[in-house]
């Protein structure tokens, strides 16, 4: 198929008119039986399949995707990567992912364009400063990079920021190892690498039912026929409630629309990611030059992937307060995705009431950053039949037991 | 922008309103076990289709009421007051016949 990417190969292909690149992953027919079936071909599902194939000895693996690979939230997110969460359990989970991001392009032999340009959260008032510094200190104490910046240091890092707007900037928490990555490349890189290891990737294949015998999943019904499966991993983000219902249980999730927009492309003007939980908005600049802008979620339960107009006015108003120089720029594109939000704003990784059916969801507004770590931990958990250490605190039973990992209060903005 | 028909004030723009939750969630008695209590607190139907929402008209009469809304197409199928007899969900066929 596509072969190894290298400088030498590039030179060779350029001499023969780039005719030899070939398809990046195979298209398979749905087989009769698999040891593990992953439902959902977003970043998390594909990463799970890749680590199952590369690190766990589980036999035949398939990924079933109802549309095209990475066409869900993986394609719709603003690609912020960071691990500066408040609680130790979250820090361990997200920093596992950041460490994996750091070697991902090499691991996959695919450029995921991970750019550690840093992520800055600005603080606007005394209360904000106290909370931010507390968060900054607890992150450092856990051994993750985090720095407190004075307003002058913020200005130096982000010359276009307005320190003296309606909500003045009184400092900020900076994570230098944070940054952005190329969303499509993550899906494609994992798909290519998984396919290279023999994983069947089947697009346009919607899972429509579960074959459950004596409380155990034994197979799936799909738009392409039935398939037997010894273990199943559900990684369908915005469709998790629907599929759980088909399997006969409920999940502690709310489905909301999260929107984002990009401006017309301009020359480089912003070299890091700036977020404000106080005014609910964030901005970075893509490699193409577009300003990538996001904010909070729309509240109603929705699968429309179209948000309300109110979001646009409030988000752009906040962003323009922070960056008055972009006031007259034009919006190029605006879109939405269906995000699966938990009440404590932490993901769900774990077992379900159906034996051999595992779930990985609830990443809501902020799961892109966790893609490699989530896939890695989920793969090992499925293969062992028990959640591995870093994933264990995130089972859905935490809601019944009252053992929440409450990041909601810690980071009130979409990211 | 959704246009929401407040049963007290009539149709107004979505910006005047606040969405609270899925409608008709009944708080169980405190004596129920952890399972039922956490399901009341955290689990939601997330209907893909017509659903009954709980909204309030914050920038208007400030009352709570229910809205029939389609979660995929964003259509609004009406609104009703708290305590009123539940109107039926609009069905696909009725819409196609037009009015
Ligand atoms: C506007 C926006 C901005 C965001 N910004 C950020 C950010 O800056 N940083 C960050 O970390 N996160 C961000 N997120 C969140 C992030 O996008 C998600 O948490 C993450 O991409 C989820 O990946 P996934 O692979 O689990 O889901 P998805 O990519 O949604 O994949 C799920 C897949 O399952 C498939 N599927 C569904 N039902 C079925 C079925 N029945 N059968 C087969 N397949 C099915 C879907 O088609 C889909 O491809 C943002 C999200 C949005 C919408
Ligand atoms: Zn009213």
- Show me where the domains of chain B are located: 3-96
Instruction: Report phi then psi at A63, rounded to 5.
Output: -115, 125
Distance A300 CA to ligand 2 centre (A): 18
**Looking at the predicted structure, is the pLDDT value of residue B98 above 50?**
no
To the nearest whole Å, the CA of B84 is away from the closest chain A CA by 22
Distance A229 CA to ligand 1 centre (A): 24
Task: Answer whether A300 sits within 8 Å of B38, measured CB to CB.
Answer: no
DSSP A329: P
Query: What rounded mean pLDDT belongs to chain A?
Result: 95
Distance B57 CA to ligand 2 centre (A): 5
**Looking at the predicted structure, is the pLDDT value of residue A410 above 60?**
no
| pLDDT class of B92 with cuts at 50, 70, 90 | low
Of B43, B48, B51, the CB nearest to A251: B43
**Other residues' Cβ atoms within 10 Å of the Cβ of residue A369:** 25
Name the CATH superfamily, with its identifier, for domain A114-181+255-341.
D-Amino Acid Oxidase, subunit A, domain 2 (3.30.9.10)
| pLDDT above 90 as % of chain A | 93
Over residues A244-267, mean pLDDT: 97
Task: Answer whether B42 sits within 8 Å of A399, measured CB to CB.
Answer: yes
Which single residue is written with the structure tokens 């596992």?
Answer: A96
Pocket test for ligand 1, best of A191, A237, A307, A336 (most atoms within 8 A of CB): A237
- Cα separation, A123 vs A172, whole angstroms: 5
Over residues A98-103, mean pLDDT: 98
Would you state the structure tokens that stand for residue A204, as one six-digit string?
Answer: 């346009």
Q: Establish whether residue A45 lines the binding site of ligand 1, counting it when its CB lies within 6 angstroms of any ligand atom.
A: yes
Q: Establish whether residue A382 lines the binding site of ligand 1, counting it when its CB lies within 6 angstroms of any ligand atom.
A: no
**Looking at the predicted structure, is the pLDDT value of residue A80 above 90?**
yes
**Looking at the predicted structure, is the pLDDT value of residue A414 above 50?**
no
Of B1, B41, B47, the CB nearest to A308: B1
Pocket test for ligand 1, best of A43, A95, A210, A236 (most atoms within 8 A of CB): A236
**Looking at the predicted structure, is the pLDDT value of residue B94 above 70?**
no
Task: Answer whether A310 sits within 8 Å of B53, measured CB to CB.
Answer: no
Domain with residues B3-96, CATH architecture: 2-Layer Sandwich (3.30)
| pLDDT class of A409 with cuts at 50, 70, 90 | low
Model's pTM, two decimal places? 0.96
pLDDT in tens, A20-42: 998 998 878 999 999 999 999 99
To the nearest whole Å, the CA of A57 is away from the closest chain B CA by 35
| pLDDT class of A3 with cuts at 50, 70, 90 | confident
Pocket test for ligand 1, best of A365, A369, A414 (most atoms within 8 A of CB): A365
Residues of A in contact with B72 (CB under 8 A): 302-304
Of B1, B14, B22, the CB nearest to A301: B22
- Cα separation, A329 vs A270, whole angstroms: 15
Q: Establish whether residue A71 lines the binding site of ligand 1, counting it when its CB lies within 6 angstroms of any ligand atom.
A: yes
**Looking at the predicted structure, is the pLDDT value of residue B99 above 50?**
no
- Cα separation, A342 vs A394, whole angstroms: 11
Give the pLDDT of residue B93: 46
The closest-lying atom of ligand 1 relative to the alpha carbon of residue A206 is 42
Task: Answer whether B71 sits within 8 Å of A302, measured CB to CB.
Answer: yes
**Other residues' Cβ atoms within 10 Å of the Cβ of residue B7:** 17
Would you state the structure tokens that stand for residue A304, as one six-digit string?
Answer: 């429309």
Among all ligands shown, which has an atom nearest to the Cα of A237? 1
Distance A180 CA to ligand 2 centre (A): 44
- Cα separation, A239 vs A361, whole angstroms: 9
Question: Which residues of chain A are in CATH 3.30.9.10 domains?
Answer: 114-181+255-341
User: Comparing C-alpha atoms, which of A167, A149, A128 is closest to residue A318?
Assistant: A167
Of B2, B38, B74, the CB nearest to A400: B38
pLDDT in tens, A183-223: 999 999 999 999 999 999 999 999 999 999 999 999 999 99
Among all ligands shown, which has an atom nearest to the Cα of A223? 1
**Looking at the predicted structure, is the pLDDT value of residue A238 above 70?**
yes
pLDDT in tens, A357-372: 999 999 999 999 999 9
**Looking at the predicted structure, is the pLDDT value of residue A354 above 80?**
yes
- Cα separation, A367 vs A55, whole angstroms: 22
Q: Picking from A144-148, A184-188, B85-89, which range would have the lowest pLDDT averaged per residue? A: B85-89
Residues of B in contact with A241 (CB under 8 A): 44-46
- Cα separation, A13 vs A7, whole angstroms: 10
| pLDDT class of A411 with cuts at 50, 70, 90 | low
Over residues A54-74, mean pLDDT: 97
Higher per-residue pLDDT: A23 or A80: A80
Residue A343 CA neighbour count, 13 Å, CB half: 17
CB of B58 within 8 Å of a chain A CB? The answer is: no
pLDDT in tens, B28-82: 999 999 999 999 999 999 999 999 999 999 999 999 999 999 999 999 999 999 9
Residues of A in contact with B19 (CB under 8 A): 299-300
Three-class DSSP category at A236 = coil
**Looking at the predicted structure, is the pLDDT value of residue A413 above 80?**
no
Of B18, B22, B43, the CB nearest to A252: B43
Write the secondary structure of A349-407 as one string of H (helix), E (strand) and C (coil).
EEECCCECEEEEECCCCCCHHHHHHHHHHHHHHHHHCCCCCCCHHHCCCHHHHCCCCCC
pLDDT in tens, A108-126: 999 999 999 999 999 999 9
Give the pLDDT of residue A112: 98
- A7-79+183-252+344-411 carries CATH number 3.40.309.10: no
Give the pLDDT of residue A203: 97
| pLDDT class of B1 with cuts at 50, 70, 90 | confident
């Amino acid at each position: 198929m596509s072969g190894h990417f290298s400088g030498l190969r590039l030179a060779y292909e350029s001499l023969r008119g780039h005719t030899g690149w070939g398809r990046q992953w195979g298209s398979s027919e749905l087989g009769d039986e698999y040891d593990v079936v992953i439902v959902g071909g977003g970043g998390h599902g594909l990463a799970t399949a890749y680590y199952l194939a590369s690190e766990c000895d589980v036999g035949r693996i398939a990924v079933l995707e109802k549309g095209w690979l990475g066409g869900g939230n993986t394609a719709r997110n603003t690609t912020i990567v960071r691990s500066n969460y408040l609680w130790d359990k979250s820090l361990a989970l997200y920093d596992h992912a950041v460490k994996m991001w750091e070697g991902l392009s090499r691991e996959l032999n695919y450029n995921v364009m991970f750019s550690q340009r840093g992520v800055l959260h600005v603080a606007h008032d005394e209360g904000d400063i106290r909370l931010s510094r507390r968060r900054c200190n607890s992150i450092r104490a856990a051994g993750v990079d985090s720095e407190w910046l004075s307003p002058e240091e913020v200005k130096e890092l982000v010359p276009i920021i307005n320190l003296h707007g309606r909500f003045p900037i009184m400092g900020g928490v900076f994570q230098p190892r944070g940054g952005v990555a190329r969303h499509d490349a993550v899906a494609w890189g994992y798909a290519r690498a998984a396919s290279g290891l023999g994983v069947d990737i089947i697009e346009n294949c919607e899972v429509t039912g579960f074959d459950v015998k004596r409380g155990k999943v034994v197979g799936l019904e799909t738009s392409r026929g039935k398939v037997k499966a010894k273990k199943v991993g559900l990684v369908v983000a915005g469709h998790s409630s629907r599929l759980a219902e088909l399997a006969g249980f409920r999940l502690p999730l709310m489905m909301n629309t999260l929107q984002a927009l990009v401006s017309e492309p301009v020359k480089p003007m912003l070299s890091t990611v700036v977020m404000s939980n106080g005014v609910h908005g964030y901005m970075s600049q893509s490699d193409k030059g577009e300003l990538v802008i996001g904010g909070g979620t729309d509240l109603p339960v929705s699968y429309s992937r179209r948000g309300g107009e109110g979001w646009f006015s409030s988000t752009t108003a906040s962003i323009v307060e922070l960056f008055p120089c972009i006031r007259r720029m034009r919006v190029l594109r605006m879109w939405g995705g269906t995000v699966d939000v938990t009440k404590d704003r932490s993901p769900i990784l774990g077992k379900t009431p159906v034996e051999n059916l595992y779930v990985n969801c609830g990443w809501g507004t902020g799961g892109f950053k966790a893609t490699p770590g989530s896939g890695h931990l989920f793969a090992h958990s499925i293969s062992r039949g028990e959640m591995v250490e870093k994933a264990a605190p995130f089972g859905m039973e935490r809601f019944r037991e009252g053992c929440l990992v409450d990041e909601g209060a810690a980071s009130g903005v979409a990211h | 922008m959704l246009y929401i028909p407040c049963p007290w004030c009539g149709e107004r723009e979505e910006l005047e309103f606040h969405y609270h939750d899925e409608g008709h969630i009944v708080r169980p008695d405190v004596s129920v076990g952890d399972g039922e209590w956490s399901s009341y607190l955290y689990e939601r139907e997330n209907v893909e289709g017509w659903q009954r929402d709980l909204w309030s008209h914050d920038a208007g009469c400030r009352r709570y009421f229910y809205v029939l809304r389609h979660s995929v197409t964003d259509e609004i199928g009406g609104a009703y007051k708290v305590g009123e007899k539940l109107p039926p969900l609009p069905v696909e066929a009725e819409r196609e016949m037009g009015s």
